[in-house]
Amino acid sequence: MVDIAPKIQALLLLPPGAIIVLALLGFLIQIRWLLVGSLIVALSLTALLILSLPLTGHQLMQGIETRFPPLRLTTAADAGPPPGAIVILGGGRYTDAAEYGEGDSVNRWTLERLRYGAYLHRLTGLPILVSGGAPYGEQVAEAALMQTALTRDFQMEARWVEDKSANTYENAKYSKALLAEAGIRRVYLVTHAAHMPRAVWIFENLGVDTIPAPMGFTTLNKEDRETLGYFPSAYGLQLSSSALRERLGLLWYKHKYGKVEPAAETLPAPAR
């Protein structure tokens, strides 16, 4: 089971949670120090305004998404030995997907990753590994849902289904074990561009040679670039929050896993 405490901490450290906490602190300080408290409240509202602008969110996302540019297969092939597989990381589930009549399904972020992974498979012919567990005790692992979506929506199957992981670290650890059994040391790694720096760092740290295959880059339409991008919106705040969360996540991973030894190439015991 996943430890939910870090997720709660992140909600309090990132917008809008951090801004709300700061504003409440300002209101409390106002009781005794009116000027200082008012200043804190004003700074909180200003931060909320700036972070809610789509243009701000876009700039913050670009700062992390541009670390790994879109994949160019010819360039990747020239850079080293050929990869042996395509690893697709899960991005979450769509709980109780009533329209499909079959319980849970993959959410839109996971579906976007599967779509790009299927595209790479058709271009390269390489086998696919899907990775994602059931961190909150769900009945069906995310990787199994990914396999179902691959078969139903893209008419292909994953060769490996890694269904034990609860986070990106475990994605890398357990995927490495499955790949090692097939003698595969280098892979195309598919995940969203904003998540790629953290994913590459942990895969490389655990000894998996990766060729980043980022997808889902953040773009703004003409309206947002020219007009609406200067007005606060929920979308703008979502972009800013996601960008800051990934930066915080990478820092946390480097702190927590920076000195770990490469994972042993064994899988966890199956559930009974």
Neighbours of 74 (CB within 10 A): 7
**Dihedral angle computed from the Cα positions of residues 250, 252, 258 and 263, in that order, rounded to the nearest 10 degrees:** -90
pLDDT, mean of residues 17-30: 70
SS3 102: coil
Quote the pLDDT of residue 272: 32
Whether the per-residue pLDDT at 76 is higher than 50: the answer is yes
Query: Using 50, 70 and 90 to split pLDDT, how confident is the model at 269?
Result: very low
What does pTM read for this prediction? 0.83
State how far the Cα of 213 lies from the Cα of 17, in Å rounded to an integer: 32
Can you tell me which residue has the tokens 């990869």? 83
- At residue 96 the predicted structure's pLDDT band, cuts being 50, 70 and 90, is very high
User: pLDDT tens digit string along 121-179?
Assistant: 999 999 999 999 999 999 999 999 999 999 999 999 999 999 999 999 999 999 999 99
Does position 86 have pLDDT exceeding 50, yes or no? yes
**CATH 3.50.50.60 holds for 71-216:** no
Q: Can you tell me the distance from the alpha carbon of 64 to that of 59, in angstroms, rounded to the nearest whole number?
A: 9
pLDDT band at residue 228 under the 50/70/90 scheme: confident
Judged against a pLDDT cut of 70, whether residue 184 lies above it is answered with: yes
Cis peptide before 6 (omega within 30 of 0): no
Element (H, E) at 162: strand 160-162
Can you tell me the distance from the alpha carbon of 205 to that of 172, in angstroms, rounded to the nearest whole number?
Answer: 9
One-letter amino acid for residue 221 of the chain: N
CATH 3.40.50.620 location in the chain:
71-216
More confident residue, 239 or 26: 239
pLDDT of residue 265: 42
pLDDT tens string 197-216? 999 999 999 999 999 999 99
Q: Has residue 264 got a pLDDT over 50?
A: no
Residue 221 predicted with pLDDT over 90: no
What pLDDT was estimated at residue 47?
A: 85
Q: What's the CA angle centered on 211, arms 209 and 213, to 5 degrees?
A: 145
Q: Round to whole Å and give the CA distance between 41 and 21.
A: 10
- Residue 208 tokens read as 């998996």
Cα torsion 56, 59, 61, 65 to 10°: value is: 180
What is the DSSP annotation of 117-157?
Answer: HHHHHHHH---EEEE---TT--SS-HHHHHHHHHHHHHS--
Residue 10 pLDDT grade (very low, low, confident, very high; cuts 50, 70, 90): low
